[in-house]
Amino acid sequence: MRDAPSFRASAIFIAAVAVLIRLLTGLHSYSGAGNPPKYGDYEAQRHWMELTINLPVSDWYRNTTDNDLGYWGLDYPPLTAYQSYIHGVFMRKFDEQSVALHSSRGYESLHSKVLMRWTVVLSDLAIFFPAAIAFVAAYYRQRSHEERVWVLALILLQPALILIDHGHFQYNCLSLGLAIGAAAAVISRWEIVACVLFSLSLNHKQMSMYYAPAFFSHLLGISLRKKYPVLNVLKLGAAVLSTFALCWWPFLHSREAVLQVLSRLVPIHRGLFEDYVSNFWCVSNLLIKWKQLLPDRVLVQLAFVATLACILPSMLQQILRPSRRGFLLAMFNCSFAFYFFSYQVHEKSILLPVIPGTLLALDEPLVWRWLIPGALMSMFPLLVRDGLLLPYFALLLLFFLGFVPLRSFNPVAASSLLGGFVLHLAYLLLDPPARYPYLFEAFIATYTFAYFAAIFLYTNYRQWSRSRVLSSTQKRKKKV
């Protein structure tokens, strides 16, 4: 007999594997590597470090002689700016030139790449890893040791996030990690902590808004069942407002400053969607040319109404019958609704539904096993452009080897996978016809959209059906 295996030891082992995979991915290229004049997200993040450590806070979001907003102007909320500041200080300590004002534009070297990669790994270790461990400890408390270790591995080794953060180069691990932490707090019924963490997540990347309906409706539903519902709502509202006030403190001195920051965060001018994203607007655009048909203003309203219509069922369900599992499903459904219908969605936004999909992996294994390959495939053209073809296939293969044995697929599922694989090959090997240069991108978007739509309908059904089952058992308990 061996000693009872400890969750902590296993968690450390898995975390070490997860760090190793991140570092290995980081050996490869990043967005816009060696591609002047605008480079890519790597340069954007570096540029924000340069700005924040060299300019006063009041100039971070303003167009000045030292801050050309046309060149990767800061367009995320203040927490991203503070994070850039901290990382900028780190970079300056080890490689001063990499963040020097003006002269560091497009700065790329082996040394600074290693340092930049480390800032992401450290962010991951500081926020995402503890949040994931806290979540597993809270939500899967009743499960066996093996199952908890397994689901932790799924979360920490989830390939889509690794490829975007440590390949393409972004800090989604921070906003998503904070959101996971908030979800863990909701599950542990630490509502104020949840509000604070979620507000922080929103203040790091406005995309966390995709989760807001789930948090709002669940916490509202919980509050309504308390003795003093209004008081409870006020309490949570105060937590949210004070966190926001703290994050926005340097900009709160004037209305103008606040509006200036806000104007940077709302990308109306960037169009209904970008590139080939597997959402409703982009796919239906093949038949209906939305952008030519309607002006931007109308499209924004249309997108808003469509999104609202799609998140309402989930919200309603959580207000009426708040439950932990229902909350996670609501997070999943609402973020997918935003991904499908909201304005200006990027391929990378698929990470937002992927996170709750992974958190639910033990409860909804079928959803998870289709979601991850689908999400990876929807980002395939983007990752190929970034020069991440090899890590893409390596991580995809590792996913099938380590988590979902290919043997476990039935013939129909296998042929669907095969279809996806053929599309990958076509994209890589075939030249598209001159009339439709983006033919294969469109194919890939449509193919994955079909997956996502099916998953979305299924999980909405699950959210309602499951809660009904639960409530009937609850009734039975009451009778006993």
Q: Which is nearer to other proteins, 46 or 113 (CB)?
A: 113
- Cα(57)–Cα(52) distance, integer angstroms: 7
Dihedral through CA 140, CA 142, CA 147, CA 151, nearest 10? Answer: 0
Q: Which is nearer to other proteins, 53 or 395 (CB)?
A: 395
Is residue 20 within the footprint of other proteins (CB under 8 A)? yes
What's the DSSP call for residue 39?
-
Is residue 224 within the footprint of other proteins (CB under 8 A)? no
User: DSSP string of 49-88?
Assistant: HHHHHHS-GGGTTS--SS--TTTT---S-HHHHHHHHHHH
- Residues contacting residue 343 through CB under 8 Å, at least 6 positions apart: 268, 272, 299, 300, 303, 304
Q: Which is nearer to other proteins, 18 or 151 (CB)?
A: 18
Under 8 Å between Cβ of 334 and 216: no
Kindly state the smallest distance separating residue 141's Cβ from other proteins, in Å.
24
Is residue 362 within the footprint of other proteins (CB under 8 A)? no
- Cα(181)–Cα(161) distance, integer angstroms: 16
b/e code 263-293 from CB counts within 10 Å (16+ = b): ebeeeeeeebbeebbbbbbbbebeeeebeee
Q: Which is nearer to other proteins, 248 or 393 (CB)?
A: 393
Residue from 49, 186, 395, 455 binding other proteins (CB under 8 A): 395
Please choose, out of 27-35, 261-269, 306-314, 414-422, the segment that lies near other proteins by the rule CB under 8 A.
27-35
Is residue 25 within the footprint of other proteins (CB under 8 A)? yes
- Cα(456)–Cα(435) distance, integer angstroms: 33
Please choose, out of 72-80, 238-246, 261-269, 385-393, the segment that lies near other proteins by the rule CB under 8 A.
385-393
Of residues 398-427, those binding other proteins (CB under 8 A): 398, 401-402
Is residue 17 within the footprint of other proteins (CB under 8 A)? yes
Is residue 28 within the footprint of other proteins (CB under 8 A)? yes
Under 8 Å between Cβ of 213 and 198: no
Is residue 293 within the footprint of other proteins (CB under 8 A)? no
Kindly state the smallest distance separating residue 204's Cβ from other proteins, in Å.
26
Is residue 393 within the footprint of other proteins (CB under 8 A)? yes
Tell me the Cα Rg of the chain: 22
Residue from 11, 21, 116, 319 binding other proteins (CB under 8 A): 21
Please choose, out of 210-218, 304-312, 387-395, 470-478, the segment that lies near other proteins by the rule CB under 8 A.
387-395
Q: Which is nearer to other proteins, 17 or 138 (CB)?
A: 17
Give how many residues touch other proteins by CB under 8 A: 29
Query: What one-letter code names the amino acid at 86?
Result: I
- Cα(341)–Cα(308) distance, integer angstroms: 9
Burial of residue 248 (number of CB atoms within 10 Å: 0-12, 13-18, 19+): middle
Q: Which is nearer to other proteins, 110 or 287 (CB)?
A: 110
- Cα(240)–Cα(234) distance, integer angstroms: 10
Kindly state the smallest distance separating residue 400's Cβ from other proteins, in Å.
9
Residue from 7, 24, 100, 209 binding other proteins (CB under 8 A): 24
Is residue 32 within the footprint of other proteins (CB under 8 A)? no
Residue from 221, 357, 374, 391 binding other proteins (CB under 8 A): 391
**Which SS3 state, helix, strand or coil, does residue 166 take?**
helix
Q: Which is nearer to other proteins, 17 or 246 (CB)?
A: 17
- Cα(356)–Cα(185) distance, integer angstroms: 14
Q: Which helix (H) or strand (E) holds 48?
A: helix 41-54
Binding mask 105-144 for other proteins (x = CB under 8 A): -----xx--x--x---------------------------
Q: Which is nearer to other proteins, 95 or 191 (CB)?
A: 95
Is residue 19 within the footprint of other proteins (CB under 8 A)? yes
- Residues contacting residue 178 through CB under 8 Å, at least 6 positions apart: 127, 131, 197, 198, 200, 201, 204, 208
Task: Point out which residues bind other proteins (CB under 8 A).
Answer: 1-3, 13, 16-17, 19-21, 23-29, 110-111, 114, 117, 390-391, 393-395, 397-398, 401-402
